[in-house]
Structure 1
Amino acid sequence: MSFQTDSKPSVETQQKDERRAKRFYISLVLLLFAIQATILGTALKLAIGDPALAVVPDYHQAALNWDKSHRASLASDRLGWNAEVIVSNVSDAQGQRAISVELHDERGEPLDDLQVETMIYRHADAGAFQAIDLPNTGDGRYLGMASMPEQGLWQIEVSIGGAGEPMTLTRTLELEN
């Protein structure tokens, strides 16, 4: 007589294999979720935490009003004015530098009684901008102090009011310590 053995695994063995498979697939799903969450967290940190990726203030509004902004940037040439923006090469212990804007009309006469404002920011940290009013010191010169302690590329945007039409000047300069 021949005995046939049942080759079917026992119920207990099947349950063990099933539990092992459940643990594996649940662990796999959780591992993939953790990887995705890590990638998302890293991407958010890079997108929000890097100051070099900041949006320039009022950039959207300037883009919407491009014609007006472009006309204001050409106003000094159209009026024949000479506008010079000068930034001191040296800074004090707190990183303050003198900023001077000199304005003269087409005849070389100094232009006084204007409202001159500047917005200054470093290209590497455009989110940290500073707005400074430059008071008139006479002879068409408007003078103020700005905190510019770091080296690198700096943007200076000058708005001139009281000229009969809006006027802006934009200068980019590189500071080295």
Structure 2
Amino acid sequence: MIIAVNVVLILFATGTFTGLETEHHYDRGLAYNDNLRAAEAQEALGWTVSVDYVKTDPPAGADPHGITLEAHFKDRDGQPIDDLDVRAMLVRPTSAGHDRQADMAPQGAGRYTAHVGLPLMGLWNIRVLADRADAHYQLNRRVQVR
């Protein structure tokens, strides 16, 4: 009985995890100093950024679960930032092939939103990327979608 249980667990474990944590890991390692400089530049901006989601109906004809992402951007003086190109990436950390991307639309007062369909509930990594001519910002957050 113990052997049968172990075989089932091994089959399940090897069938659900690809073993790939980071694509192009060698190249990313070589760019480590560039990443440090980007992090320092982001810190120097002094921005306050938050991201959250609410569960909603999925988009028509899309995945079975829907969420609306909402990000808020403020500068170092607490003023809203409205001139950004913002996009979101949603990555399923436990299995490959379910990633989603969405452009976030400006709503005014430093608020950006996107309606996203998800194939599965559970754990997701959300990466919000914001760009404008003189600045780049990235925020990562792990959420449990229920």
User: TM-score, normalized by length of structure 1?
Assistant: 0.61
- Structure 1, unmatched stretches of 5+, are 1-42
Amino acid at match of 1:96: G
Larger Rg: 1
Is 1:116 aligned to 2:86, yes or no? yes
For 2:111 and 2:129, locate their aligned partners in 1 and report how far apart those are by CA, in whole Å.
14
For residues 141 and 82 of structure 2, the distance between their equivalents in structure 1, rounded to whole angstroms, comes to 21
Separation (CA, whole Å) in 2 of partners of 1:135 and 1:100 = 9
Residue of structure 1 in register with 2:129 after alignment: 159
AA paired with 2:49?
A
Aligned equivalents of 2:24, 2:100: Cα separation in 1: 15
- How has the CA–CA distance of structure 1 residues 53 and 83 changed in structure 2, closer, same or farther, with 3 Å as cutoff? same
The amino acid across from 1:134 in the alignment is: M
Structure 1 or 2: more helix by fraction: 1
* 2:35 corresponding residue in structure 1: 69
Output aligned runs, 1:1-177, within 5 Å.
50-53=15-18, 55=20, 58=23, 60=25, 61-73=27-39, 75-88=41-54, 90-92=55-57, 94-162=64-132, 164-176=134-146
Query: Contact 2:98–2:119 (CA<8 Å) still a contact in 1?
Result: no
SS in 1 for 2:127: strand
d(CA) in 2 for partners of 1:166 and 1:58?
Answer: 22
SS of the residue 1:67 aligns to? helix
Structure 2 residues without counterparts, runs of 5 or longer: 1-10, 59-63
More strand by share: 2
Which residue in 2 is equivalent to 1:27? Answer: none
Q: CA separation of 1:142/1:108 partners in 2, compared to 1, >3 Å: closer, same or farther?
A: same
Code of the residue aligned with 1:127 in structure 2: it is G
Q: Counterparts of 1:86 and 1:163 in 2: how far apart (Å)?
A: 25
Change beyond 3 A, Cα 1:51–1:59: farther
**Counterparts in 2 of 1:164 and 1:173: CA distance versus 1, 3 Å:** same
Partner Cα distance (1:132, 1:57) in 2: 21
Matched to 2:115, the amino acid is M
Distance 1:131 1:154 in 2: 12
Show the counterpart of 2:7.
none
Task: Give the fraction of aligned pairs with identical amino acids, expressed as a percent.
Answer: 27
